[in-house]
Structure 1
Amino acid sequence: MLKKLILFGILTLSLCTQAQEEKILKLPNFDKPLFHYGFYLGGNNNGYKIGYKPSGFSNAEIEVTSSIGFNVGLIADLRLHNNINLRFEPGLMSNTKTLRFNHIPGTENVNIREVGATFLHLPLIFKFSTNRLNNIRPYVLGGASYDHNFSSNERNNDDNFAGEFRTTTSNFMYEVGIGVDFYLSYFKFSPSIRGVFAINNELVRDNKTPSQWTDPIDFLGTRGVFLHLSFE
């Protein structure tokens, strides 16, 4: 995550320098309407934060590996103030996570679970922007979201004893981020980098106990970073 932040900072600084050299003010009236709309694309790298609790399984350790996923969605923006906007950004997020239970001996059928997920992501975001400087405008943002997991197997009667690691269908997240608006000739381009963090516990415990897969887990929640490219 640190490498991504550094890379994003370098790219943003470079684009800001180029934008400040441009003296022609583009889209001068873009921020005046009360409402405007757009869409976004992006990628994510979401894993799990895992908290442990005492159980009958000593030295419990679960290793999480995540693959790069994608985001796509729409933007509805309401101007509350010259420097404050309220945004609704419904979209789809997809990614896959692999859990390796290092405290469980055996084959991959026993100690590895793959968790694929496609979410309906419904965030409500406050965007706090600086005053515009030529054709750039840095901002920070923060908000909360409801995520519906279409790939959830919460109601599946099969659990880890049958090879199924189950997670909840309905989840709540909060997210924070930074970005920059670039005013171009025909549209506004806004790259941002965001962190997303689960509020609720997403773990569905196994039907039987003791369970070497779920008994050691106290909390399991999404934690990740995603690159957000919006076009407005």
Structure 2
Amino acid sequence: MKRIVFVIFLTLAAASVAWGQEQTVQNRPYIDLRPFHFGLLVGTHLQDIELNNIGPQTIIANNGSQQTYTITCDQSQWDNGFQVGVLGEARLTENFQFRVAPAILFGSRHIEFHNMDTQAPDSMLHRSQDLKTIYFTCSFDLIAAAPRMGNHRPYAMLGLTPAINLTGSDNSYLKLKRYDMYLEAGFGCDFYMPFFKVRPELKFMYSLTNSLDTGHADRLQDEAMRPYALSINKARTKVIALTFYFE
């Protein structure tokens, strides 16, 4: 008898939960039916950069003397930043949207140089640079969304992001190019609130081009900086971004 009562109790509980889910009131049920809409975005991100060290190099000084250096260069950690922007999104089909999102990314990368020559003076063994960056970006993303379930809707996205570097000093060890292009992919979820929709999204961005300004070393006025500037020949920037979209 106790088993029968227990089974009946579980059945009634499951039916109650199912009925409650069916009776969930959808907030803003027609918001996704609009052909086009706008919004705002804010978020945070982590920046890293892949640097290709060239190994031993021979530097010819202005007076004609030669010296061989072996200098390694790397970003010591993922550095954080933040971004703000706007968005415009077009409804293609029931499950696909196309989004354009201009934004400004603020950040910095801490670069470390290590001279492997133990005979070098102490001043030449270690150098560092805070590579500050401000990028104007414009993401072009295709969003594939699942059917809406109550007041949330998960999705995946893929896109391209051209970027313009608004910073760069001619008196620094490394300098990045003015223009870059990122491939980005990620996922998120729409949450439908009574008065607006919020969309947290996590995405990974990877540079498709060599981001390093390879001609920068030749323009340096300080001859002692050239071995560090010439220690790498390629750079690929990476970004992990957590963004909140409000519509």
Classify the TM-score, shorter chain.
Answer: 0.7 to 0.9
2:204 pairs with one of 195, 201, 209: 195
- Once residues 58 and 22 of structure 1 are traced to their aligned partners in structure 2, the CA distance between those partners, rounded to angstroms, is 69
Alpha-carbon contact 2:48-2:78 (below 8 Å) kept: yes
TM-score, normalised relative to structure 1: 0.80
Taking a change above 3 Å as real, the CA distance of residues 45 and 170 of structure 1, as seen in their structure-2 partners, is same
**Mean CA deviation greater in 214-223 or 113-122:** 214-223
Q: Secondary structure of 2:33's partner?
A: coil
Question: Given the alignment of the two structures, is residue 100 of structure 1 paired with residue 100 of structure 2, yes or no?
Answer: no
Question: Given the alignment of the two structures, is residue 215 of structure 1 paired with residue 230 of structure 2, yes or no?
Answer: yes
Alpha-carbon contact 2:101-2:138 (below 8 Å) kept: yes
Taking a change above 3 Å as real, the CA distance of residues 63 and 97 of structure 1, as seen in their structure-2 partners, is closer
**Mean CA deviation greater in 188-197 or 52-61:** 52-61
Q: What is the letter of the counterpart of residue 224 of structure 1? A: V
The residue number in structure 2 matching 1:65 is 77
The residue number in structure 2 matching 1:121 is 137
Alpha-carbon contact 2:173-2:229 (below 8 Å) kept: no
TM-score, normalised relative to structure 2: 0.76
- Once residues 185 and 244 of structure 2 are traced to their aligned partners in structure 1, the CA distance between those partners, rounded to angstroms, is 15
Q: What is the letter of the counterpart of residue 67 of structure 1? A: D
TM superposition shift of 1:213: 2.0
Alpha-carbon contact 2:112-2:126 (below 8 Å) kept: no
Structure whose CA Rg is larger: 2
The residue number in structure 1 matching 2:36 is 35
Taking a change above 3 Å as real, the CA distance of residues 84 and 220 of structure 1, as seen in their structure-2 partners, is same
The residue number in structure 1 matching 2:51 is 50
- Once residues 137 and 37 of structure 1 are traced to their aligned partners in structure 2, the CA distance between those partners, rounded to angstroms, is 18
Structure 1: give runs of 5+ residues left out of the alignment.
Answer: 1-19
Taking a change above 3 Å as real, the CA distance of residues 61 and 151 of structure 1, as seen in their structure-2 partners, is closer
- Once residues 201 and 125 of structure 1 are traced to their aligned partners in structure 2, the CA distance between those partners, rounded to angstroms, is 22
Q: What is the letter of the counterpart of residue 42 of structure 1? A: G
The residue number in structure 2 matching 1:3 is none
- Once residues 125 and 22 of structure 2 are traced to their aligned partners in structure 1, the CA distance between those partners, rounded to angstroms, is 58
Write the mapping of 1:1-232 to structure 2, written as runs, cut at 5 A: 23-56=24-57, 57-58=69-70, 60-103=72-115, 106-107=122-123, 111-153=127-169, 156=170, 158=171, 163-205=172-214, 206-207=217-218, 211-232=226-247
**Mean CA deviation greater in 210-219 or 86-95:** 210-219
Q: What is the letter of the counterpart of residue 212 of structure 1? A: P
Q: Secondary structure of 1:168's partner?
A: coil
**Identical aligned pairs, as a percentage?**
20
Q: How many aligned residue pairs are there?
A: 206
TM superposition shift of 1:137: 0.5
Q: Secondary structure of 2:227's partner?
A: coil
Structure 2: give runs of 5+ residues left out of the alignment.
Answer: 1-20, 58-68
TM superposition shift of 1:63: 3.5
TM superposition shift of 1:55: 3.9
